[in-house]
Amino acid sequence: MKLHTENKVKRIIIVLIVILSVLLLLVLVNFIPTFSLKTNDMSVLVGEWVNVYYEKEESAAKDVFEYADSETGKIARKLGFSEKQNVNIYIYDNQSTMQMKKYGLIGPLLGLDWYIGDNIKTNVILTSPANPGKAHTYDDNKYAVLHEIVHAYISVINPKIKLWLTEGMALYLSNGDEFHKEYIDNFGIPSYKDTQTINPITFSDCGGYTFAHTYIVYLDDTYGWDKVTELVETEDYEKVFDKSSKEIYNEWVSYLNEYPQ
Ligand SMILES: [Zn+2]
């Protein structure tokens, strides 16, 4: 009887090990495309501020390259860089390839039509404007590159920066400071907890893409750009502002509530 139970336990353990191994293997196989951002036969354009790797869609790649290289200089200088950093842009002819480079084989199966570009530390991945995907146009993809480049440069300064700050900076430096008071009525101001999230979907759902840049605008107007860059580097609110991050959050909320029409 005892022997019988022991055999049963052994069999269960073996089955569990097999299931676990298969799962691990699937995860490993899934992430194979992320091991290298380069695909076969990529060409490169080397610029003053960025390098662009591309597949076959050469004219779209050149267009992105010229735009990105000419716009990045002033942003990089504003962030305190006096020279080029190791920031590389990889442009893929198919949206599915781009999506696989961050999330693996499962990426294109997630149905994220709007997902056309991203950054992975100092690397930017982008879907070629020549085949922009269902949800976007040539120009959407082309101009999205600058937002991702800001993330890449910011990650040189602080690789572990909070989502709220890096998105705020990327939105502000690539798109400017446009904001309308009616957004507050339409979306509501993100809560303090929302501003602390590490989840990009929570960030998007709370209105992060509508509000995060105004946090940077508020800090810049009130405390000056040097303090903004110091915060990006250290995230030490007490040291930079002599205030807690909650106090700064409350100040920003008051600023938004008093926003002119
Ligand atoms: Zn972003």
Confidence grade of residue 1 (pLDDT, cut at 50, 70, 90): low
Q: Is the pLDDT of residue 260 over 90?
A: no
**pLDDT at position 44, please?**
98
Q: Are 100 and 29 in contact (CB under 8 A)?
A: no
**pLDDT at position 14, please?**
94
Closest to 68 in 3D by CA, of 140, 144, 119, 136? 144
Ligand 1 centroid – CA 197 distance (Å): 14
pLDDT digits (tens, 9 = 90+) for 37-47: 999 999 999 99
Confidence grade of residue 3 (pLDDT, cut at 50, 70, 90): low
pLDDT digits (tens, 9 = 90+) for 195-204: 999 998 899 9
**pLDDT at position 201, please?**
86
**pLDDT at position 178, please?**
86
Closest to 131 in 3D by CA, of 93, 170, 181? 93
Q: Which domains does the chain have, with CATH numbers?
A: 43-157 (3.30.2010), 163-257 (no CATH)
Ligand 1 centroid – CA 72 distance (Å): 16
Ligand 1 centroid – CA 148 distance (Å): 6
Q: The whole model's pTM is what?
A: 0.88
Ligand 1 centroid – CA 30 distance (Å): 24
